[in-house]
Amino acid sequence: MDAAALARAIIVRHKEPGHLRLELPVRLFDPAARAHLEAGLHKRIGVYRVSFEPDGRRLSIRYESLQCSQPDVARQLRGLLDTLPPESEPAAAPAATAPLPGAELFSAAGKWAERFLGGSIKSRLDPVMKGALTEKASINFLNDVLMFYLVKVHWDLITKRWMKEPLKHADAWLTTFYLIFLLIRYRKSNK
């Protein structure tokens, strides 16, 4: 497969300023090709993380959007396709970047599901587990924990004082409703 055909076979899965996630053809997951792409992309000023996900044939590129743009990263990748090394025998993968928090937990859960539940259930659990480990899900969870904690700590005040004399404790009620308003507004803005 020539460089132009490889470039056409690359699928953009996600793009935003500072992050690009691509699905690569099988040829680019050859150990020599991976090492070549990783080293070449790191030469581009602004690119600070290049990581491969072998299971999904995905390449994730993180870059400083003030130092280079998405087209700059794409041109760098396209240029690297012209100078790909020949295919090699299967070898050990190059040293990976530091795993994301929760990646080990996800990996262990996936192995457990595959071993004990079978492949079909594992395939249904994978998207759920990946969704549970996102930054958005973590922030939502922590917001919920904080809200429950505040209710628990103030429960006696709410039931024994605030509800009996609502006007006397209007400032506490306004604060409570304002916090609920902020939580709902945050959730709606992230949909």
The tens digit of pLDDT for each residue in 56-73 reads 688 999 998 888 889 998
The residues, any chain, with a CB within 8 Å of residue 99's CB and separated by 6 or more, are none
* Whether the model pTM is above 0.75: no
Lowest mean per-residue pLDDT among 61-65, 131-135, 136-140 = 131-135
Query: Tokens standing for 175?
Result: 């604060």
Q: What is d(CA 88, CA 86) in angstroms, rounded to the nearest whole number? A: 6
Q: What is the pLDDT of residue 188?
A: 83
Render pLDDT for 75-97 as a digit per residue (tens, 0 to 9).
998 899 888 888 754 444 444 44
